[in-house]
Amino acid sequence: MADCCGNGSYSVAIIRILASSILLIIGIIMSATGISLFENQWIRLSWYLVAYLPVGVPVLKEAGEAMLGKDIFNEFTLMGIATIGAFFIGEYPEGVAVMLFYSIGELFQQRAVNRAKRNIGTLLDIRPEKTSVVRGDGIETVLSEDVRVGETIEVKVGERVPLDGIVLSDSASFNTSALTGESVPRNIKRDEEVLAGMIATDSVCRIKVTRPFGQSALARILELVQNATERKAPAEQFIRKFARIYTPVVTALAVLIVVLPWVWSFIDAGFVYLFNDWLYRGLVFLVISCPCALVISIPLGYFGGIGAASRQGILFKGSNYLDAITKINTVVMDKTGTLTKGVFKVQDIVPVEGIPKEELLHTVAMVETQSNHPIARAIVSSMPKSNIYFGQPVNVREVAGQGVEAEFDGKKILVGNTKLLYANSIAFPPAVADIPETTVLCAIDSKYAGYIVVADVLKDDTEVAIEALHAVGIKNIVMLSGDKQAIVSKLAGELGIDRAYGDLLPEGKVEKLEALRDDPSNKVAFVGDGINDGPVLAMSDVGIAMGGLGSDVAIETADVVIQTDQPSKIPTAIRIGKTTRRIVIQNISMAFGVKLIVLILGAGGMATLWEAVFADVGVSLLAIFNSIRIMRKKF
């Protein structure tokens, strides 16, 4: 937004407005009371000219600079012509009032935009300004932006991590709620990544810096959101193009309002043409036609939506995506990492008769301690801490694609899938082979002992997310996964997902998405983890990355980043988009409606400059307040 208030300082702008207001009020009082000194035309002109200069000069300066840039028809030019014209016909108070109230409106607009940016900046930029750096034998406190990559920093309990890095301590616990929304502290081990904004919760830890202060994941997200208005929504692009046509048209109409009656006076001898009267009507027409309410309130509405989304942990890369998400009718979702946590856990333990569940779990876990497979780690971690002691199996042999063979206490133990038991000719219930989830079977001394079901865990709000998507009008929900079709189909049935496709490689996901997009009626959003879903994120109408704060792929490829890693934020993003669009449409309708009415009244001589300026500024302020209320709305 151009700074109509001179050097941009609010204090200076307010002083100018106050000075102009006081002089205008005193002038009106002196005129109304009939003070003899004020009856002198030159004294009246000088007084109101002094009242005009504090608010008029900055606007005229903007108009001049715009003209030098070949932007002749703009709101500054309109205000300049209108006020100079008012002085020309002797309507000094109206000339001052037009510029005064216009400046007040612009000041409100500037403050609204800056407040929105400041709110978002405060919300996201939670990095400490100073950092404790290990240098030599001591610790120095320096500005975070002066810390170099490769240096070691120290973070005490309760302090925020100022820069991205890797943990040098054996392990440390961090509160990540400001970044991910997770209420449970995360334990981060040696050489694992920690991000700026996290809070150390249990011990002093040392971190090796991997990115400069200005390039941390949080800094990139902050810059992305604050610059999001550079990617314009269609409504913004239309209004700006419209204003380029609208402004010269209304300027021409204002000229015609003055000229046509003069021409008519030559045709109709009985028609009395008074130049000052028709010039006044043209000036009223110019004031009310100023497009600033439209040009400012629409982008402000979208920026308010981006700010409201940021408060919810939803980061839009541009107002065009905020607009695009309102048109989505098909949501395609990855399974692992999006609907599920991507973490395996023991779901069921089914031993044969005579073997307790705890004994089967202990036996399998003891053997699985010899494997690094994620399923093996899930089984070991499921053991109660009070019963975590394991014996040491011998003659351990891992069978590729099947499982593990081992001996313990003179017994041969097999732990693995159905192929392992088939290979060793061990009979087991046929129904076990039909279980869709991952099953780990166990045999002791060539006798089947039971099985353990291990499966990925649903996120806490997955079911709520699917219900909410249906509630916001998404009728077509599709799940894509590399998991077995049986697992994917079962999960889809439990969640109420319309279609589900399993056994997919990355190129298979692309094919399924292309098939959906072949139908022009489908507006598709793809939701993935932002790490291995780059192609489908890029080709969808709206790409949404889950928990992608630390992922460069998510930031670069996705259009929307859900930093809280909650699928329920997807319908929230759609609701915010629809609310923003509704507010923008309200602003457009209100501005056009009021302006059209007063334009007609002004052309007919039934509206004065006072009414015109109050209508214009009033519409601008209403649009501003309507735009920023989304920041306080609960979703």
Residue 322 CA, chain-centre distance (Å), reads 8
The amino acid present at 249, given as its one-letter code, is: V
Contacts of residue 583, defined as CB under 8 A and 6 or more positions apart, other chains included, come to: 301, 304, 305, 626, 627, 629, 630
CB contact at 8 A, 435 and 347: no
CB contact at 8 A, 301 and 583: yes
Tokens representing 385 are: 């801490």
Query: Strands, DSSP E only, in 409-547?
Result: 411-416, 438-444, 447-458, 476-480, 499-501, 524-528, 542-546
For residues 334 and 513, give the distance between their C-alpha atoms in angstroms, rounded to a whole number: 11
For residues 633 and 322, give the distance between their C-alpha atoms in angstroms, rounded to a whole number: 16
Characterize the bridge pairing of strands 340-351 and 394-399: unpaired
Catalytic-labelled residue, pool 323, 334, 533, 559: 334
For residues 116 and 272, give the distance between their C-alpha atoms in angstroms, rounded to a whole number: 53
- Classify each residue of 452-470 as buried b or exposed e, where b means 16 or more C-beta atoms within 10 Å of its C-beta: bbbbbebbeebbebbebbe
Q: Where are the alpha helices (DSSP H) in 35-91?
A: 41-68, 75-88
As a residue count, the chain comes to: 635
CB contact at 8 A, 205 and 154: yes
Residue 456 annotated among the catalytic residues of the structure: no
For residues 144 and 289, give the distance between their C-alpha atoms in angstroms, rounded to a whole number: 50
Query: Strands, DSSP E only, in 118-168?
Result: 130-135, 138-143, 152-155, 165-167
**Nearest of 1, 109, 2, 5 to residue 57 by alpha carbon:** 5
CB contact at 8 A, 20 and 55: yes
**Nearest of 278, 273, 251, 253 to residue 263 by alpha carbon:** 273
Rounded to 5 degrees, φ, ψ at 209 are -70, 130
Alpha-carbon distance values, 148 to 43, 141, 159, 212, 590 (Å): 66, 13, 20, 6, 53
For residues 527 and 540, give the distance between their C-alpha atoms in angstroms, rounded to a whole number: 9
Q: Measured in Å, how far apart are the chain's first and last C-alpha atoms? A: 29
Active-site annotation, residues = 334
